[in-house]
Structure 1
């Protein structure tokens, strides 16, 4: 079997964890970017390619790790050439664009993978499985928090070009909230300080409340904080029979608080494995291609996360909750 030919578009910070995965999988790597492609090529043994169209023509699969505002155009160009696509989150800057990408991939008979990596973190997988197993009964409330140093690249701070703390940072937990509790019926959001003239301030904090169609309430917090502050995430899911939680500051341990069996003293799942979740998500996609199966996250999941993020911005602008129909959320 010939080696998979992969084209990486972009050479920013996230590109290296994708390149690590492709190298570990033995792919024949190619890279193009407005800047930094040479460094990636030298570091990972990839071929540097002059432009996007030449790269698309050389490869079987395109991996898009560029600013969010460029995702739709690059994905559609690759799909039009009959290439499979991996696209970093968010799938697009708007839900309309995300739906267009998914429809184009389906029509072309190629695979589209929105790279929502948190689904591949062992701690979150264990929580998902515990919910499915009924470990905490009926889920009632979910709480997610995600905070870290504000990025330094200017496009992150322009909501009109795909930036913003909700679309870039909180979208991870939007996807997790939906994965755990299902589709969203309404979205209410706040941000402090507010965005002014399309410029997102930093530090900045946003709080979003999701009401899921099954009645579950999700509270999501995201902050871009001062430079040098450590990155921290946490999740807590409460149900009728117990609680599941994980805090990255607590030695990366997932803990379940639940009614104990007779004679039990505690319940503590094992520590997380050392495998990179970025490797795991890309390996899953490659295996799905070879085996003709689905991946853990679908194009519809990518669309729904963008639709909820878009509704959050609409809620901030309106100062009121925004209802989502099943059609709008692509469910």
Structure 2
């Protein structure tokens, strides 16, 4: 008889409901660390609250980290040291060095680490990836990606010193897509309007990041946190030598950051199913720990480009 998977959830922000719903749909036993908002989630989903982080880790087979980015390294390493598998929301860490430290620790401990880059599990993006891999548009030459909406409510998202930032938190989704579709990056250029002041962003901010891929393709990525009420919209266009592929969320039904309930299975359920299946079978998930580090590495280069006003090269 298969034992029920015990999952300890750390974090109770806006991303918590789809994680909890996805885990419960998979038959997992979910516990959540007590923090602001946890009581409401526990009552809504009838899950247990655990007061102490170490106790939560001890009682779990798998730890799901959805807390603010600057906490990821410490929590992940605590869980890994106790021999627990880890799901970690993007970005894996605030710096490439910290992200690599988490990956090495998981490898050394023999536990699984799953960076949660959910856009890989949105059906429209997955279909584009499959078409590119099948050669349907020839060799990729240019990718254009956009992700714009109202800014988040929690102040830490706007504080780059606390692990926030538009590029780090929002645009990393599309940076990961560019890496997935066009491969490793040679150089990164970034601009931001308005600039941060002492690491703190204005409430209305946009940025553009250009990636020069080693294979010759160029990715142009636009992101924005705008005023309250701004509709959330994403778009992708992949241009190849023999054709192009595109998707614009404005042309599809949506409910905030997610497709509507009748648009198909939640990408979070698809993502968590992939992770749990990979854990049970010892197979690869759709995203690897190394790819989680690569996304953080490109984000870091983008911030260095913002500071220096010149393109930043990424070492092989």
TM-score when scaled to structure 2?
Answer: 0.96
| 8 Å CA contact 2:191, 2:208 repeated in 1 | yes
- Could you say which residue in structure 2 is the equivalent of 1:86? 87
Q: Does 1:177 align with 2:167?
A: no
- Could you say which residue in structure 1 is the equivalent of 2:24? 23
Question: What's the CA shift for 1:168?
Answer: 0.4
Instruction: Please give the secondary structure, in 1, of the residue aligned with 2:251.
Output: coil
Distance 2:48 2:36 in 1: 14
Question: What's the CA shift for 1:37?
Answer: 1.5
Q: For residues 264-303 of structure 1, what are the alpha-carbon distances to aligned partners after superposition, in whole Å with 9 as ceiling and x for unaligned? A: xxxxxxxx95100001111101001111100000100100
Distance 2:80 2:252 in 1: 42
- Could you say which residue in structure 2 is the equivalent of 1:269? none
RMSD: 1.2
- Could you say which residue in structure 2 is the equivalent of 1:310? 300
Distance 1:221 1:77 in 2: 35
- Could you say which residue in structure 2 is the equivalent of 1:329? none
Q: Does 1:75 align with 2:76?
A: yes
Distance 2:170 2:312 in 1: 20
Of 246, 255, 268, 1:278 maps to: 268
- Could you say which residue in structure 2 is the equivalent of 1:61? 62
Distance 1:109 1:307 in 2: 24
| 8 Å CA contact 1:142, 1:217 repeated in 2 | yes
Distance 1:142 1:198 in 2: 29
Q: For residues 115-173 of structure 1, what are the alpha-carbon distances to aligned partners after superposition, in whole Å with 9 as ceiling and x for unaligned? A: 00000011011111111111111111100000010111110111122100000000000
Q: What is the aligned length?
A: 308
Distance 2:70 2:193 in 1: 24
Question: What's the CA shift for 1:252?
Answer: 5.7
Q: For residues 80-126 of structure 1, what are the alpha-carbon distances to aligned partners after superposition, in whole Å with 9 as ceiling and x for unaligned? A: 11000000000001110000000000000000000000000110111
Instruction: Please give the secondary structure, in 2, of the residue aligned with 1:97.
Output: helix
Instruction: Please give the secondary structure, in 1, of the residue aligned with 2:250.
Output: coil
Instruction: Please give the secondary structure, in 2, of the residue aligned with 1:124.
Output: helix
- Which consecutive residues of structure 1, in runs of 5 or more, have no partner in the other structure? 254-271, 327-331
| 8 Å CA contact 1:31, 1:48 repeated in 2 | yes
Q: Does 1:2 align with 2:6?
A: no
Distance 1:196 1:273 in 2: 41
| 8 Å CA contact 2:253, 2:263 repeated in 1 | no
Distance 1:319 1:116 in 2: 28
Question: What's the CA shift for 1:34?
Answer: 2.1
- Could you say which residue in structure 2 is the equivalent of 1:289? 279
Distance 1:152 1:15 in 2: 15
Instruction: Please give the secondary structure, in 2, of the residue aligned with 1:249.
Output: helix
Of 291, 294, 306, 1:301 maps to: 291
Distance 1:292 1:65 in 2: 23
| 8 Å CA contact 1:29, 1:45 repeated in 2 | no
- Could you say which residue in structure 1 is the equivalent of 2:127? 126
- Which consecutive residues of structure 2, in runs of 5 or more, have no partner in the other structure? 255-261
Distance 1:177 1:273 in 2: 25
- Could you say which residue in structure 1 is the equivalent of 2:206? 205
| 8 Å CA contact 1:71, 1:92 repeated in 2 | yes
- Could you say which residue in structure 2 is the equivalent of 1:141? 142
* Cα distance change on mapping 1:128 and 1:203 into 2, 3 Å: same
Question: What's the CA shift for 1:33?
Answer: 3.5
